[in-house]
Homo-oligomer: A and B are copies of this chain.
Amino acid sequence: MSLDRLIENIVKTQNPSAVGLDPRLEYVPEYIIRKKITKYGSTLKAAAKAILEFNKGIIDEIHDICPAVKPQAAYYEMYGPDGVKTLAKTIKYAQSKGMFVITDGKRNDIGATMEAYAAAHLGLTDVCGETCEAFGADALTVNGYLGTDGIAPLIAQCTKQDKGIFVLVKTSNKSSGELQDLILANGKTVYAAMGEMCEKWGELNVGKYGYSGVGAVVGATYPEQLEELRAAMPHTFFLIPGYGAQGGGAEGAAKGFDRNGLGAIVNSSRAVMCAYKKEEGCPETDYAKAARREVIRMKEDLLGCLQKIALE
């Protein structure tokens, strides 16, 4: 179990960012939607097919300069079983191009049920002796509210498959503090307690580069907490949402990195997917090229705040 493959991809591309594939149908260019609706009518299937084509176009354009994609399960589930099939195909396609895939599902449950989620999203499913892959991402975001019973089954599955997880610690949204910032009797915050649990869950699974397979989600919108948690969680790799549309900047996000420019990956979704809508005069058929330009812009923005990205 580790996030070593992700770290290697980051070093190779010299890019500490992930592209969130959260494709609301209104992000998809008209010409793609029209094609699918002509064929399948205004159905969930048409939407799912349009999104798959959209995703593949973006992956084709960015896979050589971006280490990872993070599809958000919700945007596939809203298109029903057909949408979920598009999620599975998107994961496979991105992996076939060498990208590390983080399914953002924020799954959580206990015991045998969490084993089922682990098999679904990271592992393998046995069907009467045949081993099948359901979704097969490289990492999964999870919610640790249920404690170790919800994490141990993932660790077991990830160890077999060299995969990883990211546990929500301090999320990027405005109301994240309602629960996460509450002060415990020992003076610590709830999010710090969750952070300590992450370090503990990961301690037996530290990879080659000093980070364990148990990562944490910490929002770019809270730079102080990022800095605090970076110091408190030396073996925990961070997935940092909230850059761009949500208001987090590169300087704040940089607080989540170590002195080698490692230890974190910053996610951007809408700004990349909808780059073609913001670029003046960009035809919608160039949506993927516009996405590539935004990936490069973001990478340079982040690199401007880091000294280097190197394994030592």
Contact = CB atoms under 8 A, between A and B. Distances in A.
Count class of interface residues, chain A: 35 or more
A182 B180 contact: no
Contact of A134 (B77, B110, B177, B187): B77
A147 B178 contact: yes
A79 interface: yes
Max count, chain B CB within 10 A of own CB: residue among A74, A132, A175, A176 = A74
A42 B128 contact: yes
A107 interface: yes
Contact of A127 (B25, B72, B121): B25
Contacts of A41: 130
Contacts of A150: 173, 175
A74 B190 contact: no
A182 B190 contact: yes
A178 B183 CA distance: 15
A135 interface: yes
A176 B150 CA distance: 9
Number of copies: 2
A180 B147 contact: yes
Nearest to A269: B113
A117 interface: yes
Interface string A83-127: 111011000000000000000001111111110110111000111
B190 A178 contact: no
Closest 10 pairs between A and B when the two form their complex, measured CB to CB: A147-B175, A147-B178, A42-B130, A77-B120, A74-B116, A80-B134, A81-B85, A110-B173, A78-B120, A149-B173
24 contacts: A25-B126, A44-B134, A46-B127, A47-B127, A74-B113, A74-B114, A78-B116, A78-B119, A78-B120, A79-B120, A79-B125, A80-B132, A81-B87, A106-B107, A108-B168, A143-B145, A145-B171, A145-B179, A147-B173, A147-B175, A148-B178, A149-B173, A182-B193, A183-B184
Given A25-B126, A78-B134, 12 more contacts: A24-B112, A25-B127, A77-B120, A78-B120, A80-B132, A144-B179, A145-B145, A145-B179, A147-B179, A179-B194, A184-B184, A185-B187
